[in-house]
Structures are given as C-alpha cells and as structure tokens.
Structure 1
Amino acid sequence: MFNTVLVANRGEIAVRVIRTLRAMGLRSAAVYSDADAGSPHVAAADVAVRLGPAPAAHSYLDIEAILSACRAVGAQAVHPGYGFLSENVDFARALQAAGITFIGPPVQAINLMGDKIRAKNHVTAHQVPTTPGIAEPGLDDAALAAAAAGVGYPLLIKPSAGGGGKGMVEVRSPEDLPEALASARRTAAAAFGDDTLFLERLVPSPRHIEVQILADAHGTVLHLGERECSLQRRHQKVIEEAPSPLVDAALRSRLGAAAVAAAASVGYVGAGTVEFLLSDANPDEFYFMEMNTRLQVEHPVTEQVVRVRGERLDLVAWQVRIAAGQPLDFGQEEVGWQGHAIEARLYAEDPAAGFLPSIGTVGKLRLPGHVRVDAALREGQQISPHYDPMLAKVIADGPDRPAALRALDRALADTVVLGVKTNIEYLRLLLADPDVAAGNLDTTLIERRSFEFRRISAAELALAAHLLSPEPGTGPWAADGWRPGAPAPRRLQLEADGGLVEVDLAAGAALVDGEPHRLLDTPNGVQVDGQLAHISWAREGDTLWLGSAGWSTAVRRRGRREQVPEGAGAAGVSPHVSSPMPGTVIAVKAADGDAVTAGQVLLIVEAMKMEHQLASPADGIVRMPALKPGDLVTTKQTLATIEPSADDGHTRKDQHG
C-alpha cells in the first residue's frame, strides 16, 4: 500500500478523496491554485503544494507542475478525481514514466475509451449495441454536413474527446447545422484540446442510464448496478438516482453484462462507468454511448445503495486498493442493493436569469446534517469564475424512492448559501414536478419545464431596508434612523428581483410601496409585523442576502434611482450589451456599424466553462470596440451599444454582407 497519495483536483471531490485516504491511514497531499489557497480541500489534506495562478491551464492542467508536486511530497500515487486530468492519457503516461502510480485504468484503456469514435467502433466489434450514426475520425464540417442527411434529423453532434456533455449540440434541421458544428468545435477545442466531431441519430424520449464498473488487475470485472441520469439541462446532469425507476432485475442484468463486456474488452482496471441510452418507449433497446474511465460525480448514489455482505462500499477505497495491486475480494453474486438514493447538484447559478453562473463571496452557509453532503464550502470563501460552478452534492437515501425524494427535499430546504445565486429553489421545484415524482423521466424533461420562482415579499423588503439602513461598517443593529424620541425618517431605494422599490423608514416602521410594516429589534432577532423573521441573512457593503427554506435573493441599496439610458428598443430596455461575468471572448459575430436586429448574437463569451451568447436588445446600429477572440472581459463591462437606425430607414451597410 502507498504511504502518500496526491489528489490532483480541487473542491468537493478532493475533500471526498482525502476523507477516504485518512480513513485508510494514508498521508494525503493536496494541490491548489492561487484562487484556492484558502479552500477547504487545502485545509483537509496533510500537506499542500501550490501549482500556479488561477487559470486551470496554468495550475490544475499543468502536468509538469503536478509531477513536481509529487516529487516535493514524496507521493507514490495520484488520484485524479474527475474532470481536469482524470482522463488525460498524456498525464497517465507521464506518471508512469516517473514511476508514480495512477489511480485509474491502464493507459491503453484511457486512450481507447477516451476517444468516442474509437470507443464506439471498438465495442461494436464486441457485440455491444451502439446508436446509429456516423463515427469516423478526421471528418470536416463539409463531410459531416454531407453525412447528416443519411443519419437523419433530428440528430446530435458529439465531440470525440472529453465528456460531461460539453460540446454536444442537438440539431433539428439542415439550416441549423453549420452554426451548431462551429459551436461544438469551439467548445470541444477549448475543453478538450480536440475538436473532432461525429454524428448520432437522436433517440426519442431518451433515458440516460449508466452502469458502475469495478475491475481489478487479476481478471475480475463486475458491475454495481445502474444509475438514472436522465434529468439533465444542456446535457449536464442535475439530479441522479440509484436504482433507476425504469430498470427491473432482468434489464439490470442485461445492462450489467453489456457494461462488463465493454470494460473487459479494453482490459479495464479500477472504477469506471459505461453509459447507455434507452428509449423510454422501448427500454429493452439500449445503446452504448461512452465509457468514462474515471470516478463519476454521481458515484455517491451507488455507494448509498450497493451492499456487499451487508456492508456499503467505498468506491475510492477500492480504487486505491486496486491501484496498489489488491484483488477484489467479492464476486458478482455477492453484490446486492438496498433502498434508494438521490443526489442533487448544488450550483452557483441563477436559474431565473437563464442559469447564468454566479460569482461572489459566501457570507452565510448552512448545510443539512441529516443526509450525506459532499462539499468544499466555508463562509468567506470566494466563488471563482475560473472553475466549474458546482458547489456541493446533497445525497439523500431511504427505504424506497418516495422516501428518498422527501428526504432530499427536506435537506435542500435546510440548505442556506448566501452571497451567490444558487439553484436550490429550482431543485426543489424540479423534485415536486409530477413526472419527476412518478419517475417518468427523459433527458428532455427539464427543457420542457418552466417554473415560477418565489419573489421577495413586502415584509421581507421592509426587513431588508432595516438591515441595510446603517452605513457600511456600523453593524446591522446600529441606531442610525432608530433613535429613541423623535423619529428620523429616511428613504432608501432598494434593488430586488430585477426592479427598484422605495422604502420609507421611521422609528419602528417601514413603508413599502405605501404598505406599512412594523419593525422591532429583540434579543432573538427582528420582529416584522409582530412575528419573528425566521430568515438567514448576510451583508456585504450595500448588498444584503436573504434566505429561507431553500430560497435566497439579494437586495441592493442604491443612493438614488438609476436612469435607464437613452437608446434603441422598447421603453425601459437598455441599449447596452455587457458581459455577465469575467470571461474570455471566443467569437465575434458583428462589427462596429453593422445593422442588427433584436435577439441577434453579437459575440460569445466563455466563463465558468460555459458559453454565453450576448445578443442585441433591439433593432439598430451596433457600436462596439475592436474585440477579438481571446480578449478578456470583466463583469458588467459594456461590450456593445445599440443606436437607433436613421429616421429615413437607411442604415449603414452591414460590413459582413
């Protein structure tokens, strides 16, 4: 067994791996970028090594920096977690050359299964069913467009490299194909360094089912059942569960046999996942999608339900043992399942604003204590734009699926993260959806749903005005405006839920849009209209975050009402196009002086591993600086302004035809 294992990752997966290493009595080594110097995974490890600056390319993706860290701490093995270098064949080879054990599969398995085109063609030869389509290396856009008619619409563009749904684009008609191919190539090149694409027929009402594999170096390959991963948004999983409500014992056996055959065909060793696509209308027909040669984000739901000799398995512990040469000490006949488990991914994002990723400082944190939570969060932590926006995973289990659903909903209601926007309220709304509750799932369900999000109430605005009334730095209970004796009336302008509201404060009272509310400070907190305000809050300067029962919002104090700039478009629509967060320009679709229409994409910015298309808010003439791909932009930086067209209807010539 190893003495020291270096974890070449960050965030919740690094904390989760370090927890198992400690339980096994092994010394753990963390690595970190400048942005993560104070992160929980650094504090959790026995020793930590700085890799470099915040961008992943100069830290977590720097192979030589990680090898140097291994030498510095004397690590005999490296656990890659998931993402970053976990499926990078060059990294596995570099570790092998340095005499350091890679806690993952052999190089040849990564190399074969890491390329979806090769993998698909390989498993087809081993009688594993695959989705109809065209999967040939080296096809350019013209060749793919020519082949698309034979594949048939709707179809799916998929990158050959990488995983996690990045670069996958659904195409409904030939007219949409050129732009979809360009977007898929951009994303694949940026995420995986390889823009090779292939096409597959889109399966109607698809279910995404994956099978957990465990294999040792002594010839034993077995499966640990399936996970239901159909609740996805833009091919990114949102909620996962085990077992699948669609799969019965007979289908589980067939899926497991196909997964074992795929893994055995490449001499797989370690923990891995084989992913299948099933038609909800005919689940007996399933197709191989890909094999992930690493641990999956959703592995905890398998750990919660699988039993071997009555005990739960720790997949990370088995990864370490297998990498050290130990054989599996149980067979397929000893694997059983008990109960049901569901996992929700908690993201720093704003569902009400198109799931825009959110950055900021965690000012208040409360995680549920009655379920499993895999997280790397603390109060005061900076949520950086440089990495994936996933903050934590909340995993609940129960004797059956309804009990697990109820436990997960209660856990999310008890979760408070203030300082950034999160998807907690959205997750609870999704869990309450009748089809989700009934287990009628498919990968398009989320895209067909829209939810009404809770808005801040007048009483909560009154509370916010009270908490924001002191000057910054004087504390929430300062006397300002609340002195005994004569009242000191005060008017505040607050921004909340995308609008402005004026609140008049006087001693013990707040007037919100003409509606009076009584306020009283007590030793137990603030009473609003005679009731104690059971709400969490955190303040940063002129911004106050409020949260309760899985809901949160930000209220910002303004000194005066900001005027909407003059310009094109409907009344109240700003003519300015700005970046939603720090990022990198990856495509420019217009030039200064072009005539544009409302909704036309002007440029594309990448931030937090996602593409953000910035569109014109109105018809008019675009005014924009000479931006180019690779340029860095900051939050709220104005990137373009739309001017009204000339009164006579003539506009400047579109420079791009």
Structure 2
Amino acid sequence: MTAPHRPPFSTVLVANRGEIACRVIRTLRSLGIRSVAVYSDADAGARHVREADTAVRIGPASAAESYLNAEALLAACLRTGAEAVHPGYGFLSENAGFARALAEAGIVFIGPDVHALNVMGDKIRSKNHVAGHGVPVVPGLAEPGLTDEQLIEAAGSIGYPLLIKPSAGGGGKGMHAVYEPEELPAVLLTARRVAASAFGDDTLFLERLIPTPRHIEVQVLADRHGNVVHLGERECSLQRRHQKVIEEAPSALLTEATRARIGEAACNAARSVNYTGAGTVEFLVSDASPDEFFFMEMNTRLQVEHPVTELVTGVDLVEWQVRVAGGEALAFGQDDVVLSGHAVEARVYAENPEAGFLPSSGTVLRLEEPAGEGIRVDSSLLPGLAIPAAYDPMLSKVIAWGDDRAEALDRLDTALASSVVLGIDTNTEYLRLLIGDEDVRAARLDTTLIERKLPGLAFRTVTDAELAVLAVGMLTSDAQGGGGTPAAAAELPPWQRRDGFRLGLPRPRRLSLEVGPDDVREVSILPAGSAGPDGTFAVAVDGGPTRTVRLDPAGGAVVDGVRTGAAMVHADGVSWLGEGGWSVSVRRLSRSARLQAQLALVARAAGTADPLVRSPMPGTVVSVSVQDGEVVEEGQVLLAVEAMKMEHQLRAAVAGTVHLTLKPGDLVRADQVVASIHVEEAGPAGEATGQEAADQETADQQTSAQEPAAQEPTAKEVSAR
C-alpha cells in the first residue's frame, strides 16, 4: 500500500544511528527526500553516515553529549535546512521536550504530538489513562512518587510473584521479577538506580506477574484527519530478561475474533490521546487464556520489529510516518489491511551467549550477509567497521517471509547459517538454536521460555581439526611468511621463510592457542613438504593424532582429505573461524603470555577459584558495594560495570579480604583486574608470594585505568528496544 509519490519534505534529519538510521535513510531516498545523518566521534565511519546525502558531527562518543543532546541536533537541523526530524527508536524518539523544541523552531517531529508523548511516555499515567477508555490493564499499583516503603507495603495485596517496572523508558530496562517478599527491598534499590541512570527518572510501579505470559503487540497507524487503523499483531514472547530476541507476525496464538478485539483495543488507546503516526500498543496475554489480554504500555515510535509487519501487510511504515507528519491522510482503511503469509525476525547482537551474554566490541574483519527469496536484512555492518562499546549492541536484523510459519522459520535458519561476521562475537548460533527448538517450532511460546531453555542449549565447541586449520592459518598469515598464503610463502628466499627449515629432520613449530579462560591448547606443525605436496602441513593438537592440513587460497581448507568451507581471518594476534552462523576466536600466546598464564595457575592451589576479579568487558563502574579492606563472602557482589546499555555485577569468587580502589564513574578495560581477594588462611610456602603478585597486578591496573581509554564508554542511551 503506497501513496502518491509526492514528497512532503525536501530534507529530513535522522536523529539516530545504526541499522534504524540506515533503514530510514533508505525510505527517504525512495521518496526523493534529502537525508541528513548525525554522528558522534565513535560513529565517524559508520554505515549510516556513508549512506546519507549529508552528515553532521554532533559530539563525542558519549550519548549524553551527542545522540541525546537536543541542542546539538537542533543546531544540525538549522545548519542543513532540515524541515523535519525522524527520531528512529531509542534516544530522543519519545522525548516530549525534544518534540516541543523542534516545534518551537518550526521543525516537524515525525511522531505524535507532545500530549500523546506525555501521556503514553509515562507507564503509570498511560496505564491509568487507557483504563478509563475501556482498555483492560494488568492488576497492580501504579501511582507517581511512591517510596520503597510504600511499594513494599502494597506488594502483599498485589501478590507474588510481581514485577517491578520503571515508569519512564522501556525495552525491559530496570524491570525485575520478584518471587519472595524478602527479595523486594534489595531489588528495588537496583531497579531505582538503573531507572535513574537510563531514563533520568527513578519512579517505579508494581504489577502482578502474569503466569505463562505471551507478549503480543499491535501496530497502529493514525493520521491528523481522525483515521486510525491497526496492521495486525506481532508475537514478541521470545525474550531474555525482558529484551526481545525473535519476533514474528502474525501470532499463532490468536484467533480471528481475538485479533479483531485486541486490534480495536489498540486503536482505542491511540484514539484516547489523538495519536498521529506509527505506534505500538503492547499487551500481555496469558497462554492459558488466550482470549484475555492486558495493556502494558504504548510505544510512541517505530519498533525494532516493525519489518515483520511490513512484510505481511506490504505497508512501508516509515513512508507513512513521513507522509502523516506532512499532513497526508491514510490512503487505506481497516478493511483494506490483509495479513499475507508469515514473517520472523531475529536480532543479531554483538554479544557472547556462552559467556553470559557479555557485550563484544571490536572490528568487523570479514562480513557476509544473507540474501535470497523472502529474506530481508536491516544492517549497520560494514567490512572494517569498528563496533564501539558506547551504544546498544544490536548490529542488524535478519527477517524472513514465507507462505506459512514453518517456511518462514526455515528460511530464517538458512539465512542465519549463511551469515559470517568475524572480528566480534555475535549471538547468531544462539538464534539458530532457538528457532530450531521444538517448542518454538510448535509455537508453544511464553516470555520465560528462553530462561528455561538456555541451560540446555548445546553450543558448538571448536574441534581439534578446526584448531589445526587456525594454527596453519596463523603461520601463513604471518607478515614474514609472505602475504598470508602458502604459495606466497614458498616464493620467499629460504632465509626469510618461517617454516622451521634445518638440515636433517624439519623442526616442528609449536603454538600455544588460548581458546578460553584457563583453556590453552598446544599445537605442533611440520612445514610444507614433510607430510605431502607443497602447501600441506602435518599438525598435531595436544599431542594427539597427526592431521594433514592444506589451505585453499580461494577460501576454506582441506583437512585429512575433507574440504571445509569455514571462513577464517587473522588480526592483532587473534584468529577467527566461522561457519554455519557459528564462530570462534583464538588468541596466539607469546612465550611471555604463556609463562604469565602458567604462573597465575601456580599462584593458587589446583582447583581453587581465581582471587583476581576482572572486568569481562570495557565499561564504566556504576556502583561499588564494598569498601577496600572489607571481609567478603564467596559470591558477594563487589561492584557493577556497565557497557552497551547493560549492567554486569562482578562477584567475589572466594571469601577473604577485598582490595580495590575504583569508584563509580571510573573507566575500566576488558580483562582489567578491578579487585583482588586476599584469602586469609595460610597455605604452603610460596602461596603468599602469589597473593602479593595478585595484589600488585590489581594496583598496577587500577592506576593505569586512569589513563585515557582507546574507546570511551558512554552514559546510558535512553532506548526502549
């Protein structure tokens, strides 16, 4: 469904970054509208900057000083002559103050008016408001200004389990489930801190936790002429910690009758605030009673998962956002909306699911994105792109359409299997495991399914054959080995080759490869000519059987006569291998690094926990729960570090006396020692020396932490993903 091709604006500024900025720019180009991108210092080389017609720098990496800086965005509008601003989602997309400032400057905000933003932007106000317009709401306590004591007192009458929710913001940020009364006081403290940091507002409210809930949201469109339609619903029940992972349209749960009822309820919610533009009304539906639904909130913006609605309806939501903002009336009514087929979306994040979903930053060294019938990719990725630690970790979205749900899931799995992103960790393998789960395939979904299934997911591990390929690749990519291929290495004079040549029997090359924490594998390699034709190597891993490995200059490798198509890349002492959506990174240890790892193991008794507490990622210290010199218990929270909008609590692995000097606001690097635990009980001679070394490493790293970081971690971006 498209409108006449008359652009309502000549220039539109996109006040966002990443894949959503690229997606908006794409539609603006199709409408013949000049696009203006904005960027922080961390995004100077980003894809959205390259794809826009022009781009304006708005500040340093910190979101508070760039993408959340309304004054800088307004100045960019005035500088470029932008007549309108598309806010995307997150950042200032639901900020009434920003919309008001644009209006005062005569610039159109592509979204609802200030009244709708004010009412629906506050979960307490919106819940009470729609309840007065016949929209069912979840039982709970939603009043402004409630103290922790008042919330604790009211919790008993609401009943457990219950859900703590921040009034501002969205995307699951600051939401916590509480199952027992004694948990509530401590969780309220965490929820307030997170809400205040993320949204600048620590107001909380309580809701009854619906058993086996399903998250169903309805897409609405409304114009300034009183027309309101819904475009069906999306199933968003596959979530982890209230963050959506996989979404689909339509929901397999709803009947046509329920679809009509929930759609009308969503339209009523929009009508109650004279809504204009695209918006989403979110509902909880009990799996046990699918004909009952409860209003959660209204998102007054585009949603991350909007592509699945576009694929099943044929409606370009961004186009209609722009046209409605320009004063046009919708060109279709409710009866014209037809859902065709099924669509499923998977969010690709820079994170490591096997390591507790820790965020990953780095550089995209190799990129292959899927394509084909029924496949759409909304992406921010580029070869060579540096992924900063400053922002949300979502990299792209892979969306598949099919005639039915089974075909859509099959196509999505095939698309994910053909994806290659090397240089950063991604969740692609995890996504494939999820959509292959029997309950997911059977549409037996609820918002707790991932939490139940995650412990049983069988993540793939690197094999000895793959380590052999990586080891050979490391040697042939060495700068002194001749440009990274066996053929190039063979062209060098004998004295310049690093092939272990000597008179008599060849000398094996030995590599120490770090696969993971405390997991170092030893690889021995015999050079070309010792085990076969030129370019073939004989490789043994950890003294195991010898394998023959030959790299193909065109890609892939042959191991023991069997060809593999795995992609491989090397940079800065780290090698990456990926195939079928799975990838692994392996670090080649120098002699000094290997010795240091061995000494660290010697410094503590075999089988005991490491007394050093390290930050698993670069970030910012947001809280410190103990004092230097305090006696702590095993498992006690010491401090919390935030990166890519996620807060990670670091705990003591052993009991003892903690030593730390960090404070909130300090920057930390990946693998930096942030605290050490001095175990009180005396041990055999020599253990004290190991503890002293640990304490010294802690002091050294905390001192160096005050030096400028390579990538500045940012304040929280206000995002409702």
Q: Where on the TM-score scale, by shorter chain, does this alignment land: which range?
A: over 0.9
Aligned pair 1:32/2:3, yes or no?
Answer: no
Q: Is there any run of 5+ residues in structure 1 with no aligned partner, and where?
A: 307-311, 649-657
The corresponding residue for 1:617 is 653
Q: How does 1:287-306 map to 2 (within 5 A)?
A: 287-306=294-313
What SS is found at the alignment partner of 1:165? Answer: coil
Counterpart amino acid of 1:350? N
2:286 — aligned with what?
279
Query: Aligned residues, how many?
Result: 642
Residues 482 and 463 of structure 1: CA distance in aligned 2, closer, same or farther (over 3 Å): farther
Determine which of 294, 317, 320 is the counterpart of 2:319.
Answer: 317
Instruction: Choose from 224, 245, 262 the match for 2:252.
Output: 245
Give the whole-Å Cα distance in 1 for the aligned partners of 2:572 and 2:538.
23
Matched, 1:16 2:23: yes
Per the alignment, residue 695 of structure 2 pairs with none
TM-aligned CA deviation for residue 240 of structure 1: 0.1
Q: Which has the higher helix share?
A: 2
Conservation of the 8 A alpha-carbon contact between 1:566 and 1:575: no
Out of 403, 426, 431, which is 2:435 matched to?
Answer: 431
Structure 1 counterpart SS, 2:261: helix
Q: For 1:442-472, what per-residue CA distance to the aligned partner results, in whole angstroms no more than 9, with x for missing partners?
A: 0000000121210111111111111112574
Q: Does 1:581 align with 2:589?
A: no
Quote the Cα distance in structure 2 between the aligned partners of 1:542 and 1:634.
18
Structure 2 residue corresponding to 1:640, chosen from 669, 675, 680: 675
* Percentage of matched positions with identical amino acids: 60
Q: SS of the residue aligned with 1:496?
A: strand
Q: Which amino acid aligns with 2:337?
A: V
Root-mean-square deviation (CA, aligned residues, Å) is: 1.5
- Counterpart CA distance in 1 for 2:272 and 2:95 is 20
Is 1:341 equivalent to 2:343 in the alignment? Answer: yes
Corresponding residue for residue 159 of structure 2? 152
The answer on 1:491 being equivalent to 2:510 is yes
TM-score calculated relative to the size of structure 2: 0.87
Shift of residue 592, structure 1, vs aligned partner:
1.7
**Residue equivalent to 2:717:** none
Report the counterpart of residue 510 of structure 1 in structure 2. 539
Deviation at 1:36, TM superposition (A): 0.4
Q: Judge which range, 171-180 or 203-212, deviates more.
A: 171-180
Alpha-carbon distance in 2 for matches of 1:162, 1:168 = 10
Higher relative contact order (CA 8 A, sep 6+): 2
8 Å contact 1:462–1:512 — kept in the other structure? yes
Question: For residues 410 and 94 of structure 1, what CA distance do their matches in structure 2 show?
Answer: 46
Aligned mates of 1:114, 1:382 — CA distance in 2: 33
Q: Which residue of the partner structure matches residue 528 of structure 1?
A: 559
Instruction: Give yes or no for contact 1:347–1:390 (8 Å, CA) kept in 2.
Output: yes
Q: Greater shift after overlay, 495-504 or 483-492?
A: 483-492
Partner amino acid for 1:97? E
Q: Where does residue 551 of structure 1 map in the other structure?
A: 582
| 1:386-437 deviations in Å (ceiling 9; x for gaps) | 0000000000010000000000000000001001111000000111111000
Code of the aligned partner of 1:361: T
Equivalent runs, 1:45-64 vs 2, <5 Å: 45-64=52-71
Aligned pairs for 1:580-599 (under 5 A) are 580-599=616-635
User: In the alignment, does 2:498 pair up with 1:480?
Assistant: yes
Among 346, 354, 363, which residue is 1:361 paired with? Answer: 363
User: Take 1:567 and 1:137, find their aligned partners in 2: how far apart are those partners?
Assistant: 54
What is the CA–CA distance in structure 2 between the aligned matches of 1:482 and 1:364, rounded to whole Å? Answer: 30
**What does residue range 37-116 of structure 1 map to in structure 2 within 5 Å?**
37-116=44-123
The 3 A distance-change label for structure 1 pair 521 and 160 is: closer
What is the match of residue 601 of structure 1? 637
TM-aligned CA deviation for residue 523 of structure 1: 4.5
Could you tell me how far 1:248 is from its partner in structure 2?
1.3
Which residue is equivalent to 1:269? Answer: 276
Alignment deviations for residues 553-577 of structure 1 (CA, whole Å, 9 cap, x no partner)? 0011012332225666862532111
Q: Residues 50, 140 of structure 1: CA spacing in aligned structure 2 closer, same or farther, 3 A cutoff? A: same
Residues in 2 aligned to 1:523 and 1:368: alpha-carbon distance in whole angstroms: 23
> For 1:303, what is the secondary structure of its paired residue?
helix
Asked whether the 8 Å contact 1:568–1:642 carries over to 2, the reply is no
The aligned amino acid for 1:93 is R
Amino acid at match of 2:499: G
Deviation string, structure 1 residues 68-126 (Cα, Å, up to 9, x no partner): 00011100000000000000111000101110000000110000000000000000111
For residues 170 and 524 of structure 1, what CA distance do their matches in structure 2 show? 52
Give the whole-Å Cα distance in 1 for the aligned partners of 2:140 and 2:69. Answer: 35
- The residue that corresponds to 2:390 in the other structure is 386
Q: Secondary structure at the residue paired with 1:391?
A: strand
In structure 2, the partner of 1:216 is: 223
Aligned twin of 2:135? 128
Partner in structure 2 of residue 631 of structure 1: 666
The aligned amino acid for 1:155 is L
CA distance in 2, matches of 1:569, 1:153: 44
For 1:562-600, what per-residue CA distance to the aligned partner results, in whole angstroms no more than 9, with x for missing partners?
A: 222566686253211111122111111111222222211
Residue 497 of structure 1 and its aligned partner are, at CA, apart by: 4.1
Measure the CA separation in 2 of the matches of 1:263 and 1:76.
Answer: 26
Q: Note the C-alpha offset of 1:182.
A: 1.1
Tell me if structure 1 keeps the 8 A contact 2:500–2:509. Answer: no
Partner of 1:571: 607
CA distance in 2, matches of 1:286, 1:533: 50
Superimposed CA distance per residue, residues 330-368 of structure 1 (whole angstroms, 9 cap, x where no aligned partner): 110111010000000000000000000011111010000
Quick check: 125-134 or 528-537, which moved more? 528-537
1:484 Cα shift? 10
1:452 is matched with which residue? 458
Deviations 1:191-247 (A, max 9, x none): 111110000000000000000000000000110000000000000000000000101
Distance 2:247 2:554 in 1: 39
Q: Secondary structure at the match of 1:628?
A: coil
Task: Give the stretch that moved more between structures: 452-461 or 639-648.
Answer: 639-648
**In 1, are the aligned partners of 2:473 and 2:551 still within 8 Å (CA)?**
no
- Between 1:27-36 and 1:498-507, the stretch displaced more is 498-507
Q: What is the one-letter code of the residue matched to 1:476?
A: G
Check conservation: 1:472, 1:541, Cα contact below 8 A.
no
